[in-house]
Structure formats: C-alpha cells, structure tokens
C-alpha cells in the first residue's frame, strides 16, 4: 500500500491524522495552520513565478495569493511541530 504524503510538509500521514482537501492530503495540524491564515488554497490555471522564491510554478501548482501575489504553498506556510516545508527542503 502506498504511503499518503502531506502536501505541505511532505511527511507520511497516518489514517487518524489525514485531512483531505480539494488541493491535496494534509496532516490535521498542517491544514489547521493554513486555515488559520484565512487565505484560500488554489491551483494555478497557468504557469507563474513564485513571488517569494522566484521558482517557476507549473500549471495546477498549489498556491496562495497574499496581497495579490502568487506564492508556493510551502514557501508561505511553515508546517507545525518542526516539520520542514517543501520550500525549506528544496
């Protein structure tokens, strides 16, 4: 059976910690940290550049738009409990 990985921190998720969202699978704590910011998650309709790291984002990448700028999900949010974000791991 394949492991389910968190879209934010890229760690495996146990069944009791799994929260599903239209943009992916998350640990309960990771999704809660995103929801506290009150910024909707979305998938890009076209390629763009991340306003924080400058990396190219492909169509369908998961992003947030603080102050109208396109930002990688993991560049903007720091996962809870010491987990590394995908941006930090890159």
Residue 7 lies in a domain: no
Helices (H), the chain: 28-36, 73-76, 86-89
Tens-level pLDDT at each residue, the chain (90 residues):
678 999 888 899 999 999 999 889 999 988 888 888 888 889 999 999 998 888 899 999 999 988 888 988 878 876 555 555 544 444
In a domain, 83, yes or no: yes
Count of all residues that appear for the chain in the document: 90
| Structural domain includes residue 2 | no
Domain of 65, in residue numbers: 15-89
Report if residue 3 sits inside a domain: no
CB 25 within 8 A of CB 7: yes
Global pTM? Answer: 0.70
Domain count of the fold of the chain: 1
Domain for residue 72, yes or no? Answer: yes
Domain annotation covers residue 47: yes
Spatial contact of 5 and 13, defined as CB atoms under 8 Å apart: yes
Residue 24 β-bridge partners = 21
Contact between 5 and 82 (Cβ < 8 Å): no
């Amino acid at each position: 059976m394949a492991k389910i990985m968190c879209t934010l921190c890229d760690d495996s998720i146990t069944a009791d910690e799994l929260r599903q969202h239209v943009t992916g699978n998350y640990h309960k704590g990771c999704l809660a940290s995103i929801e506290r910011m009150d910024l909707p998650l979305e998938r890009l309709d076209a390629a763009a550049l991340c306003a924080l790291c400058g990396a190219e984002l492909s169509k369908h990448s998961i992003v947030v738009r603080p102050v109208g700028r396109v930002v990688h999900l993991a560049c903007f949010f720091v996962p809870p409990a010491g987990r590394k974000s995908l941006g930090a791991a890159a």
